[in-house]
Structure 1
Amino acid sequence: MRKCVAFIACVLLQSTGAFAGDFLTSTDGWTGFSVGAGIGAKTIDQNATAAAERWDLFKKKTCFWYYYCDTDYYGTKPEYLKGSMNDDAWKIFGTVQVGYDRLLFDRVLIGAFADYDFHPEGDEHASFSYKGNSLSGDLDRAGTWTVGGRLGYLVTPRFLVYGLGGFSRMNQDGSVTAAFDGPKYAPLPTSVTLTTGDLDGWTTGGGIETKLDRIDKRLSLKVEYRYSRFEGDSDVGYDDAFNKTTYKKWWTKTQVKHWASEGAGFDLDEATVQSVRAVLVWKLQADPAPIEPLK
């Protein structure tokens, strides 16, 4: 990661130095539509917790041959499951984008963009088991798209410094499953699966962009840092099971009714995402403005 950042910085410095003599030359090559593709690294810091609890209630009714019945209610000690997951390691992603920029007053640039980040390594998984009971969870992150704008300033005709901001949505599916086998002497399995969906948020950041092509100035390289925050999500669920068993002997008849109930909850905290990216940008059209010196 450090070698990658150092290489990008070296390219930018060489590019800036090579074009330093153009400070009072053309500002064309910035206005127009563009497409881009690049690579980066990001860390997603998000706590996911799940908890489940099971209750068992029994009603035992015994009737004797002389028509006397005895009824008894009793329950088992509640069983608990709890687990969490959080993987905030830096992971590689790919990105594609489209945008439009317009140069104002020779040095000020405004623009709009839309991009999508692919998360090939953005998934998380955790599992927990105890005495035959289990709790497992998955976060499957497909990617993040962002729409927003940027405002920049030309330090030289070929070197831009800018800030950006916009709306983001993280495409992900979160699920957790809690499963209880029940008491060994009266098993009655229950299971609850909970799900969460896409998360909305906002993005802010900044970057630098430099022209790489001296001829028509359509190709450029930009390096960005972004900070994003996404809302959390949660889900709750319940599962009930019932069983009735009858035992007969010549002098008694015993009937046992068994109720089992499970409740579970799944909570995703707010997610904070930090990313750095390098993107090659290609202008789809030349700047129609005449060549003029910077003022």
Structure 2
Amino acid sequence: MAASQVASADGYQPSDSAPALVEVTRWTGFYANAGVGYGMWSASTTTHDGGRCVSCAKTDHSGKGWLGQVGLGYDYQFSNRIVGGVLVNYAFSDIQGRTNDAVFTTAKTSNDSTWAVGARLGWLMTPDVLNYLIVGYTHTHFDGAPLHNSYTGDQLPGAQLHGYKAGGWFIGGGLEVAMRDGWFWRTEARFADYGKKARLETGISPVFELQFDPVVGTATSEIVYKFDWGR
């Protein structure tokens, strides 16, 4: 009471309000993410006819285009610096390029869908900024398309480049920043290798096998919402 009177006499009034609480970023919890990005692929190919090499020299093909990505994941903060987690995501895309058999046909092809499961491990540079590495398994699809004459550009009636789908591995890294109320912003780059697999060219004689060996690189910017941020 005396201290209060002295404070009043000196012109200071005691405050009845509690100290302001500072929100602490929580990285542990389930989350959903969605974003957009850009991708590029390249593929070295050779052309075969029933196991016999028709064009043995490797031909390089490539494509580029946009993608959208959605996903789910779970993170766990092991210490004040280390965060680890697991994730699954799906990307729909139109990363379009062109292939040819190095003989007389050509076709457009697009990397149109990909899914992935993986794990990430990160280092908190500050309580709100996570720098991380990511690795996992991925499966992708390239669509088929009508074949055209490489020299005239005319479509070959009934001739078709078949689609490609295969599994492989991916590795990448990113940066994630806490904003507020459970919202985070993430930017990420990945590299994926799917291995060599034959793509048939049918409707022509002879039927060719295009040995397609793609690698894909992507970069995305995403919004993340962590469901457990307030716990």
Per the normalisation by structure 1, the TM-score is 0.57
How far has the Cα of 1:81 moved from its partner?
9.8
Deviations 1:72-131 (A, max 9, x none): xxxxxxxx999x9855343221111111101112221111111111113436466999xx
Query: Which residue does the alignment assign to 1:143?
Result: 113
Deviations 1:164-195 (A, max 9, x none): 0000111224467699xxxxxxxxxxx87563
- Give structure 2 stretches of 5+ with no counterpart: 1-21, 150-157
Q: How far apart, in 2, do the equivalents of 1:26 and 1:173 lie?
A: 48
Query: Which residue does the alignment assign to 1:152?
Result: 122
Structure 2 counterpart SS, 1:119: strand
Which protein shows a greater Rg?
Answer: 1
Deviations 1:22-68 (A, max 9, x none): xxx76533111111111111111013454669xxxxxxxxxxxxxxx
| Alignment check: 8 A CA contact 1:50 1:264 kept | no
Q: How far apart, in 2, do the equivalents of 1:209 and 1:238 lie?
A: 46
Change in 2 beyond 3 A, CA 1:267/1:128: closer
Q: How far apart, in 2, do the equivalents of 1:173 and 1:89 lie?
A: 13
Per the normalisation by structure 2, the TM-score is 0.71
Q: How far apart, in 1, do the equivalents of 2:63 and 2:160 lie?
A: 27
Query: Which residue does the alignment assign to 1:28?
Result: 25
Change in 2 beyond 3 A, CA 1:237/1:114: closer
Q: How far apart, in 1, do the equivalents of 2:59 and 2:182 lie?
A: 45
Q: How far apart, in 2, do the equivalents of 1:140 and 1:162 lie?
A: 30
Change in 2 beyond 3 A, CA 1:32/1:125: same
Change in 2 beyond 3 A, CA 1:193/1:235: same
- 1:103 paired to 2:77: yes
1:12-161 correspondence runs (5 A): 27-50=24-47, 87-122=61-96, 124=98, 135-161=105-131
Change in 2 beyond 3 A, CA 1:127/1:164: closer
| Alignment check: 8 A CA contact 2:59 2:102 kept | no
| Alignment check: 8 A CA contact 2:162 2:201 kept | no
Q: How far apart, in 1, do the equivalents of 2:72 and 2:66 lie?
A: 21
Instruction: Determine what percentage of the aligned residue pairs are the same residue.
Output: 22
- Select between 227-236 and 110-119 the one with higher mean Cα deviation: 227-236
- Equivalenced residue count is 200
- Matched letter for residue 112 of structure 1: V
1:151-190 correspondence runs (5 A): 151-174=121-144
CA-based RMSD:
3.6
1:225 maps to which of 183, 189, 204: 189
1:134-283 correspondence runs (5 A): 135-174=105-144, 195-213=162-180, 217-234=181-198, 262-283=205-226
Change in 2 beyond 3 A, CA 1:222/1:128: same
Structure 1 counterpart SS, 2:162: strand
2:227 maps to which of 284, 288, 291: 284
| Alignment check: 8 A CA contact 1:52 1:262 kept | no
Structure 2 counterpart SS, 1:122: strand
| Alignment check: 8 A CA contact 1:169 1:198 kept | yes
